Copies of this chain bind each other. A is one copy, B any other.
Amino acid sequence: MSNTLPRGAAPIRVALLGCGTVGTEVVRLIEEQSKDLTARIGAPLEIVGIAVRRPDKHPDIKASLLTTDAQSLVDGDADIVVEVIGGIDPVKGLLVDALRSGKSVVSANKALLAEEGGLLHAAAAESGADLYYEAAVAGAIPILRPLRESMVGDRITRVLGIVNGTTNYILSRMDETGSSFSEALAEATDLGYAEADPTADVDGFDAAAKAAILAALAFHTPVTTDDVYREGISAVTSGDFASARDMGCTIKLLSICERVSDPDNPSEDAVSARVYPAMIPRTHPLASVGDAFNAVFVEAEAAGPLMFYGKGAGGDPTASAVLGDLVAVARNKVATTTGGGVSTYAALPIRPMGKTPTRYHVSLDVSDKAGVLAAVATEFARNDVSISTVRQEGRGDEATLVLVTHTAADEALAATVEQLHASEYVRAVVSVMRVEGKDS
């Protein structure tokens, strides 16, 4: 259990691409904890260069380290490249070059990994470099390494994640205070939880990128952002929350990665990856994940249910995840080895959303005519959707019909809702929301 540092062990040379909130924290942690990190790695870390857009904006960093030429760092003699710039271009080219030249890469870039993970992993495998990106999903929460390594002997069946802090803050506030989406968004913006242009968060793009990364690792299959079905939260109303409460549920934006049967070949597996707001029972461990926290719920055949919970964003938590990867990769450099790669051997087909089994909660304003229930039930039956529960509330002008279905193909459920809109018995479709959790 001893760890004697070889005297004068050669430092591990680190190039940093980007130096915003996360990068600044990474630099600070490397400097402040240098003694501990050296002991844990078996060699000191040395920052050999930091690529930034505006060197004059970084007065606290030694000027000799700063450069605007990221490519020179990638082409230089660093052992490890840490990327915290974000976005696809020009980062993609930089990281491919770094990996091809044998430099290990630590990245926090979910968009790039979700879109070009295959390309990057291939470049890493080619030269025997490491590629880690724990910070790309759920900030400080260790979830990718557990999926890549701890659970690699098990068969994962489902991953349900709350992986976007902004939308979780908004939905938590709507749930707690009864406020509207726009009120809760304004509050999130004031508090700095939402960006000036909240599209990436609110419309589910961020959660979809993370779903692609989670699904690829969980199911050993190539999954990119384009494979992920996506709906955002801007259409969620306080009425939806009232309906959820009546059901003993709350509403969360879920990134769902599921092993399902292949519609063309029911004895084979397929992967479903999707992001949308859904009702989940308040008794589900994810229901109590409030504020801007993140959590990932994993179900595996032998392990059973697992949950990982923590801070999903912010400079410090993200930097913690980057540092963890950096230390692991640096240890590998000292041992002149690499960690376990990522395999996509299973290459499961992606099941399209329409064919994916889901459940709907539908709330209808109905007219006060005889035969309403029969008429509505007929629409469901026509699409082969079976109803789990139905509840009629109020009478006369105020009558509301609340239905929860059993599991059916999403396209059958969507078609039913479409037909209900046109029904003479239905005055308004008040709320339509998918329901996650076990079908009863």
Contacts and interface: CB of A to CB of B under 8 A. Distances in A.
A301 to B, nearest CB: 8
A187 interface: no
Interface string A108-142: 00000000011001100100000000100000111
A348 to B, nearest CB: 12
A300 interface: yes
Interface string A286-311: 00100000000000111111111111
Interface string A327-361: 11001100101111111111000000000000000
A142 B153 contact: no
A3 B341 contact: yes
Contacts of A151: 142, 320, 324
Contacts of A37: 153
Residue in A29, A321, A332, A340 with the greatest tally of chain B CB atoms within 10 Å: A340
A390 interface: no
A2 interface: yes
Given A146-B145, A149-B328, A222 B1 contact: yes
Given A40-B343, A340-B331, A309 B310 contact: no
A179 to B, nearest CB: 22
B39 A343 contact: yes
A309 B314 CA distance: 23
Interface string A391-433: 0000000000000000000000000000000000000000000
Contacts of A40: 152-153, 220, 343, 345
A344 B134 contact: no
A331 to B, nearest CB: 5
A177 interface: no
Given A304-B316, A306-B141, A152 B324 contact: yes
A322 interface: yes
B36 A328 contact: no
A25 interface: yes
A150 B285 CA distance: 23
Interface residues of A, number: 72
A150 B155 contact: no
Contact of A150 (B142, B300, B309): B142
A36 B346 contact: yes
A226 interface: no
A163 B200 CA distance: 39
Nearest to A300: B320
A121 B3 CA distance: 10
A142 B40 CA distance: 21
A323 interface: yes
Contacts of A325: 150, 153
A102 interface: no
Nearest to A298: B310
A303 B328 contact: no
B285 A153 contact: no
A209 interface: no
A326 B288 CA distance: 34
Nearest to A155: B33
Interface string A60-73: 00000000000000
Contacts of A39: 220, 343, 345-346
A77 interface: no
Contact of A324 (B121, B149, B322, B346): B149
Given A140-B306, A149-B327, 8 more contacts: A40-B220, A152-B323, A303-B316, A304-B314, A306-B308, A307-B308, A331-B340, A332-B340
